[in-house]
Structure 1
């Protein structure tokens, strides 16, 4: 699926910036990729039993205390989901994760968690299902996108260690 075509069909037309492959936030730092807007870290998480999944968006430079976050949301021990789970639920490989991958979660099996520290951000950096480009998704477009995919964002204070 071409995510840019899907977005355009939904009247969401964000700018697209092509670049070399970026698997992590550190890769962007090393390549000195400069883009306007809010850089994000995308963490695909699961509970201890693998029954619940969440995509957490936070600042690219933030360290997250998963134990504290687990207690906060009432899930049994949060951990990172495997590459297999990432492919099964979001249809992408590691290093290609962004909120736009929720387009592949038609069953709404993945919760969307947004760090409250992002509330004043805009032009969120999102991979368009591939890590060789970045979409600058405005807050309004993010809301329109999540409404279309059926994912209601949960804004929460994400604890740091």
Structure 2
């Protein structure tokens, strides 16, 4: 849970209001739906992708109920063919393990290599749910505070309709 404590500390430094929920380990959106706690908000799916050369990486943030067409997304951002990045790349750039992919991993991307891609349907929502760099907890924050956090990270932000 040390990963989560780092996230909570940063949110507090940025004066970002959040709610936190600790729970059993979850790895998929289906696992989350089976939790015996009521977490209100839009649970976000976070996909760590790479381009075909492997020289650019993207963190895609989308509603958990949506599927992402990688070919279409590549045209929209624009990029060469997209595929899921390896576990090694995930750890290299965001210091995260599979199952805990989260925009909060950007705190480890000091070179601002990873571009964040946000589904426009998330903009303005009252409550977004993310893992705080561990899949044993969930953090709920407003979109405005999420954007404030992202601006602090200084990674490039792209908005697309997914």
Q: Is TM > 0.5 for Structure 1 vs Structure 2? A: yes
Alpha-carbon displacement from aligned partner over 1:66-97 (angstroms, at most 9, x marks no partner): 01111222211100001000000011101111
**How big is the shift at 1:122?**
2.6
- Residue number in structure 2 paired with 1:76: 80
Which residue number in structure 1 is paired with residue 99 of structure 2? 95
Which of 117, 121, 128 is the matching residue for 1:117?
A: 121
2:64 pairs with one of 60, 67, 70: 60
The alignment's C-alpha RMSD in Å is 1.4
Q: Which residue of 1 aligns with 2:13?
A: 9
Secondary structure at the residue paired with 1:39?
strand
Partner Cα separation in structure 1 for residue 57 and residue 127 of structure 2: 25
- What is aligned with 2:148? 144
Q: Is contact 2:113-2:155 (8 Å) kept?
A: no
Q: After the TM superposition, which segments of 4 or more aligned residues of structure 1 sit over 6 Å from their partners?
A: none
Secondary structure of the residue aligned to 1:145 is: helix
Aligned residues: 158
Taking structure 2 as the reference length, the TM-score comes to 0.91
Give the drift of 1:101. 0.9
Structure 2: give runs of 5+ residues left out of the alignment: none
Q: Structure 1: any 5+ residue segments left out of the alignment?
A: none
